[in-house]
Structure 1
């Protein structure tokens, strides 16, 4: 049986993966729809790019706390349980946000709590995938998941822009709450129960920090993931960028959708046409290429050209993000996998939150198009030494391309509960 036997179709044939896939499709689409709603709502009320960037940052930044403090729950408790509880909590919080007339300060507090719950959910989900898929299907499964996330972002951003332009932002938030509730039901009844990977009291946060920090490959993966700090600018500034072009809410959704459209293409092409060895070798280079298209925003291109440029950034950034996730998961042991993945995912999402905030400040000081161009230039400058460091570190380190076998717990049969 060759590696090529693992296809999107064979991965989706696995019932548990299909349940995880469908649940994430729903909740991600709702999330992006809510991001459009919040961006438009805040910009309409305040007319401030900085406050719009801050609100967008709050859809990412609190994940830092959730990832550091709560992602270890995915190792200490059954991962299916963590997924379901996280979804129920988020559904309840977003339902409160959907009440018309909710003050902006309360929206921000609720949004912070919702995003904190993303940390343990994502860590438990990614830690569960190697238990659901065998080694030959695993990398393809990551690609399917990435395409799913980006596709749902396209639907949420584009559909959200249309919905908000026709109706109101609070309806979008209500739909987001419903997607979380449905996701919880799908996971509860579609994913098999498994015992916790780590039992009893254990300083998981400390060991996970040490685990990531002492491995130079994991350290570099965390730093490369932080390039998202620069490449989130087009999405976070979509509202003021569209206003600069003289366009409205529909254009906001289309601009936000450009990055995930490029990501879908990038994930498919990178996993299908680039070998594992070359994916590892070019990981850092993709980080450089992701920033170059943003430089052309300085010329204030029209909507169609801007969408193409932002799509290219999405394609290249997804290429390095996908390989970072695959390599890190292979290097981490099962007993600390959720916490380790949580820390690395936290690094990327925290960077996006900080980047959104900084991009908003830059846009207030100049223009949205100039802020996007500056962000792209800064990303290229930072990515160059990281690319060199990765090439030096990975030279002769073929172990990174070989999956590290998880703990024996992985293949222990369990009954559904």
Structure 2
């Protein structure tokens, strides 16, 4: 990492703090996802119910992004992150109560996901303030690599933890991770004023509520480059379907909870390799041109699951898909933030990120329906095919927007 210059971001103290806090919560989230998959599938024996629960870890983020992401522009961003983490710690700890009805479990899960939207928006808006210039892009790559590594550790250890202890124990671990994240942010992140309230700036609150979100969506929709990037980013949901079907897929292979964690870890492992290889070996001027190609290619390995591969080959296919999808998603995220003005950045990031999460929830819900109608392997293959076909349209839109934005200079344009 040091040789590629990525390690330079760790010289910024605040980046180390925010980065470390995020790792705590990411690991805890993956432990909780494994626990919920095993808990719900064990109670119901239904692939649909397992994916419904998994979808609830994503889908409510759409509502949260619409209603709550603007809080990152209306209040101090550090406080938004702390309050969100503490509230989620309490809710997840409540989910660990033995014998809690499924409807109550799902309700608490929805609240947890909703509270993640303002946290994501505040954190995303803080990073450009903490990392200036080229450090921002390097920090984004480091964050992608390390967060996926944390997911890998969380998924792999989550299966073993659930098998050795209980789903409730994994949920309590998630609650502790949120509390630790809040503590680290409180102690190590500078208390900046609310955006727009600095002494040398007019005290003007950003447009909030639904009206503010509509304004943000209109800005994105009328910008061809940001519109194409968001469309491609949202399609990544189809490539998350295998994670949601890990429990029934493992059952189809005749395996147990430990293999569920391994299957869920395949995509994050591929993501770590994809982010590192993409940033380390692909020239900056080439990355933007590869976005559409990589988005389409990410679905091909999943299509091959239709041939019912064994565990080892399945892990490879899911890992390759994760590698390709992360490489293109990394570039879409960097390009979107660079193209977004500072004013209202929290709202824009929150809406875009929530759309990614919500698209994942919708896709895995469809995957669950397909798995119940046919089988998990077929559902994974169909999800990969849908993602690849839709990405063709997104790739064409991005190519046209990129050429229009910088005619004659696109080849020499640095990573966006």
- TM bucket by the smaller chain? over 0.9
- Do 2:287 and 2:415's aligned partners in 1 also have CA atoms closer than 8 Å? no
Residue in structure 1 matching 2:266, options 213, 233, 258 = 258
How many angstroms does 1:335 deviate by? 1.6
Structure-2-length-normalised TM-score = 0.94
Query: What do the CA deviations read for 1:217-257 (whole angstroms, capped 9, x no partner)?
Result: 11111211121231111100000000000001011000000
Match of 1:275 in 2: 283
CA distance in 2: counterparts of 1:110 and 1:18, whole angstroms: 31
Residue in structure 2 matching 1:228, options 236, 246, 250 = 236
Q: How does 1:176-255 map to 2 (within 5 A)?
A: 176-198=174-196, 199-200=204-205, 202-203=207-208, 204-255=212-263
- Do 2:73 and 2:206's aligned partners in 1 also have CA atoms closer than 8 Å? no
Query: What do the CA deviations read for 1:114-145 (whole angstroms, capped 9, x no partner)?
Result: 00111111111111101001111111100111
- Unmatched 5+ stretches in structure 2: 197-203
- Do 2:30 and 2:155's aligned partners in 1 also have CA atoms closer than 8 Å? yes
Match of 2:199 in 1: none
Residue in structure 1 matching 2:14, options 7, 13, 16 = 16
How many angstroms does 1:76 deviate by? 1.1
Q: How does 1:34-45 map to 2 (within 5 A)?
A: 34-45=32-43
CA distance in 2: counterparts of 1:286 and 1:53, whole angstroms: 26
- Unmatched 5+ stretches in structure 1: 405-417
Match of 1:100 in 2: 98
1:126 lines up with 2:124 in the alignment:
yes
Match of 1:415 in 2: none
Residue in structure 2 matching 1:311, options 273, 297, 319 = 319
Match of 1:376 in 2: 384
3-state SS of 1:387 partner: helix
- Do 2:288 and 2:415's aligned partners in 1 also have CA atoms closer than 8 Å? no
How many angstroms does 1:207 deviate by? 2.3
How many angstroms does 1:174 deviate by? 0.4
Residue in structure 1 matching 2:55, options 54, 57, 65 = 57
How many angstroms does 1:66 deviate by? 1.0
- How large is the Cα RMSD of the aligned pairs? 1.6
CA distance in 2: counterparts of 1:403 and 1:303, whole angstroms: 37
Residue in structure 2 matching 1:350, options 358, 367, 381 = 358
Query: What do the CA deviations read for 1:254-301 (whole angstroms, capped 9, x no partner)?
Result: 000000000000001111111222111111111011000001101111
CA distance in 1: counterparts of 2:20 and 2:207, whole angstroms: 33
Query: What do the CA deviations read for 1:384-414 (whole angstroms, capped 9, x no partner)?
Result: 121122112211524995699xxxxxxxxxx
CA distance in 1: counterparts of 2:229 and 2:165, whole angstroms: 42
CA distance in 2: counterparts of 1:156 and 1:5, whole angstroms: 28
**Which has the larger displacement, 223-232 or 125-134?**
223-232
User: Structure 1: which 4+ aligned runs deviate by more than 3 Å?
Assistant: 398-404
- Do 1:58 and 1:111's aligned partners in 2 also have CA atoms closer than 8 Å? yes
CA distance in 2: counterparts of 1:352 and 1:120, whole angstroms: 18
Match of 2:26 in 1: 28
- Do 2:284 and 2:415's aligned partners in 1 also have CA atoms closer than 8 Å? no
